[in-house]
Amino acid sequence: GPEAVTPGLEEQEAATFAHFSMVQHKKPERILLIGGGLRGTLSEIAKHPVERIDYIELDEVLTKVARPYVSPATLQALADPRVRLIHTDGRLFVKASKEKYDMIIVDVPDPATAVLNRYYTREFFREAEALLNPDGVFVIGTTSTPDLRGIAIANRNATIYHTLRTAFSRVLPAGERFVFYFATNAPGQVSLDVSTLQERYHERNIETEGFSHHHFQTLLQQAQLERVNWIVRNHGRN
């Protein structure tokens, strides 16, 4: 609520999602954000020196009802002239749009229903890739477990990885209880190198309570990265 002095847990998670995603592009200017804006992802993305953010939210009534309860930073981001709030179905927007973006960031729940699964399909990934500039980056993620323990979790996350590979030549998974997937066709764009991402973050002079350059060291522990990347590439395959 508006009385909160410091960011809550959800806002901190949104800050991690936003900044870890945004530094995967060397110079992102045009962003498409599908979902997640009201929880804080939009306001954190807006702290980067971007030119435009198209924010897709399905329900106009939800946006209106949420305004008295979201953080002041989110209200400020919604009023930012760089932000274009579009009330439509995100899947339909990607299918029909003729726009071009440097980044497409999908912040939706896990594919637990047919409606949500539409954002994790080969068809959607290929349509999203078509909206990206040649050096563009696509970002999506799912909840997970340490070392992807559990056959169902390993099956799902490995499937997402291999499905992304049908649309993108380079896909980097990272994370533990939440797995990010960074996908691109541009060499040298996405990275899991701590110093590279810290340098990009520092160059943008970002000030936020929910994230700092130290987070990259926690997010990118080498042994954990190697395990997760091995599992999503090899699980269920000879």
| Chain length of the chain | 238
From the list 2, 24, 18, the residue with the least C-alpha distance to 211 is 18
Please answer whether residues 224 and 191 qualify as being in contact, where contact means their C-beta atoms are separated by less than 8 angstroms: no
| Helices 151-164, 122-131: crossing angle, 10 deg rounding | 40
From the list 34, 165, 191, 173, the residue with the least C-alpha distance to 103 is 34
Please answer whether residues 36 and 107 qualify as being in contact, where contact means their C-beta atoms are separated by less than 8 angstroms: yes
Query: Is 102 one of the catalytic residues?
Result: no
Burial of 86 (0-12, 13-18, 19+ CB in 10 A): middle
**Which one of the listed residues 54, 80, 107, 135 is annotated catalytic?**
107
From the list 12, 60, 63, the residue with the least C-alpha distance to 37 is 63
CA 77 to chain centroid, in Å, comes to 17
DSSP state of 71: -
Residues designated catalytic: 107
